[in-house]
Structure 1
Amino acid sequence: MNKYKITAIEHPQYPWLHRIQALIDVNEKVPKGTIGGFVDSITNLSQGGGCWIYDDAICCEGGLVREEAEIYDDSMVRGTAVVAGKARIYNHAVAKDSCYISSGEIKDDAVIAGKAIIGSLCLQKPLISGDSRVYGMVQGNVHVNGNIFSWEKIEANTQDTHIFEHGQWSISPAIEKLQPPLYYPRKKTKKKNPPER
């Protein structure tokens, strides 16, 4: 069963693009009947998973949004770009050419292009923001607000956030917390009796 249909509602600037409408409850934010963003064809948004195109976002040409990925606002996926996993693209960000985004957040006016790969390492997800232009690989706990060239490969599998901003690298250390070992006896808390009336 299809989860959405393409409506007759045309994009005001690109009339060959049309809005989508949910035919079923797609996810918690998209109940049946919800009007979504714009597509070129049925191949731009997977019929499986909870992926969705929100607001005035566009997925066109050979671009694809699949799995649990979401695009919002005026963001755009085009060329043969793939946005998958739990990736989120919003504001005016663009994914184009043959890039592959499998996790993290792309926002502001950032552009992911060429054969760029954006992904996670374990549970660590990247954030690409500002006027960034990313053509290389960015994976893990990395915040990029700058340019990453096609020959660059950035991987950060740590709790500390690696920050690339204005051509400079810095680290934002994670807050260190200790957890008691399994053998440590846990104190039982007494339940308070409700006050008598």
Structure 2
Amino acid sequence: MSIAKKYELTEEGTLFIRYDSNGLYACTLYQIRALRDFGNVKAGDLGGFIEKEENLSHEGDCWVYDNAQVYNDAVVRGDALVYDNALVYYKARIYGNAKVSGNARVYDDAVVYDNAHIHGNAYVYDSAEVSDNADICGNARVYGSAWIEDNALIHGNAQVYLNAVIGGDARVYGDAQVYGSSYVNGNARIYGRACIYFGAHVHGNALVYGNARVYGATEISGDAEVAGNVHIYGVQKICSGKHFGDDAEVDVSASTQRDAQQIRQ
């Protein structure tokens, strides 16, 4: 049984040219016009712009609004919405009840689904995946096979990349970076210019901020607080206390205690 089309391409297309790291890309974008009522869309409504019908499914309530653009081999399906000035391109996929809005960009092989929302000036690209109720906004960048899930929030100028996973109710913001197969979840907060990398795990109610660096197999959890310019690395766990420092380094693999030595400025 064939699916009744819910939109058509307007007759006159607009030449679109984009320059980026992959060089020049030129195509014709067509504004879409609804053929029937669905979701919040009424027959005759004009939508955003797509390159071809393969970009936007005729099934579900998915739609492209405003000045948003979907092109290359990108696909929007299910009940997903793309609106404002958002761009979705290359082989990106947006589905479920996901939303992409503002000046956000989702591209390459990135996937956004469930109830995830990408907005503001955020970029999600490479093979990054954003799911559940995750929220990416501000000037955040998520890329390099990173996965943002659950109720995680990435905002400000934060960057999450290289196979890092952010989940639970975790927040990463400011100029913080999480990368290199690290995992942040629970109610953890990573902010300031803090960096979590090379397999570190931060969870519970832990706070990592300032210029702190946490890396290696270190696990920060509980109510632990790591800040200042301290560097913490190694294979043991820190689950309490305040660990502040000025260009200090703590190799917790050398400690026999559960909590690393407390360092104060």
TM-score by length of 2: 0.59
Q: Identical aligned pairs, as a percentage?
A: 28
CA RMSD of superposed structures (Å): 1.8
Q: Tell which deviates more after alignment, 65-74 or 12-21.
A: 12-21
Q: What's 1:77 paired with?
A: 88
> Could you report, residue by residue, the CA deviation over 1:81-135 in whole angstroms, capped at 9, with x for unpaired residues?
0000000111100010001100311011101000101001xxxx01100111101
Per the alignment, residue 256 of structure 2 pairs with none
Quote the Cα distance in structure 1 between the aligned partners of 2:12 and 2:89: 20
Residues in 2 aligned to 1:60 and 1:66: alpha-carbon distance in whole angstroms:
14
Question: How far apart in 1 are the matches of 2:129 and 2:163?
Answer: 12
Candidates 115, 118, 126, aligned match of 2:134: 126
Q: CA distance change for structure 1 residues 37 and 9 in 2, over 3 Å: closer, same or farther? A: farther
Contact 2:68-2:86 within 8 A present in 1 as well: yes
Whether 2:178 is the aligned partner of 1:170: answer: no
Give the structure 2 partner of residue 193 of structure 1. Answer: none
Aligned: 1:110 with 2:122: yes
Equivalent of 2:154 in 140, 144, 147: 144
Equivalent residue number for residue 191 of structure 1: none
Deviation at 1:12, TM superposition (A): 6.8
Alignment partner of 2:34 out of 22, 28, 33: 22
Distance in 2, matches of 1:68 and 1:150, equals: 29
Which residue of 167, 170, 174 maps to 1:155?
Answer: 167
Instruction: Give the residue type in structure 2 aligned to 1:4.
Output: Y
Q: How far off its partner does 1:142 sit?
A: 0.7
Residue equivalent to 1:10: 13
Please tell me whether the aligned partners of residues 112 and 131 of structure 2 are also in contact (alpha carbons under 8 angstroms).
yes
Structure 1: distance between partners of 2:44 and 2:149: 36
Match of 1:184 in 2: none
Give the counterpart letter for 2:129 in structure 1. Answer: I
Structure 1 position 150, deviation (Å): 2.4
Matched with 2:202 is none
Aligned length: 163
1:56-94 Cα distance to aligned partner (Å, 9 max, x none): 100000001000000011101100000000001111000
Contact 2:98–2:117 (8 Å) recurs in 1: yes
Shift of 1:26: 2.2
Aligned equivalents of 2:90 and 2:80: distance in 1?
17
Gaps of 5+ in 2: 18-26, 178-187, 191-204, 206-265
- Distance, in Å, in 2 between the alignment partners of 1:58 and 1:13 is 10
- Change in Cα spacing, 1:13 to 1:40, as seen in structure 2 (3 Å) is closer
1:13 is displaced (CA, Å) by 4.9
Tell me, in whole angstroms, the C-alpha distance in 1 between the residues paired with 2:41 and 2:134. Answer: 25
Q: Give the structure-1-normalised TM-score.
A: 0.78
Q: Tell me, in whole angstroms, the C-alpha distance in 1 between the residues paired with 2:14 and 2:160.
A: 32
8 Å contact from structure 1 (residues 118, 137) kept in 2: yes
Aligned residue type for 1:152: A
Give the aligned partner of residue 192 of structure 1.
none
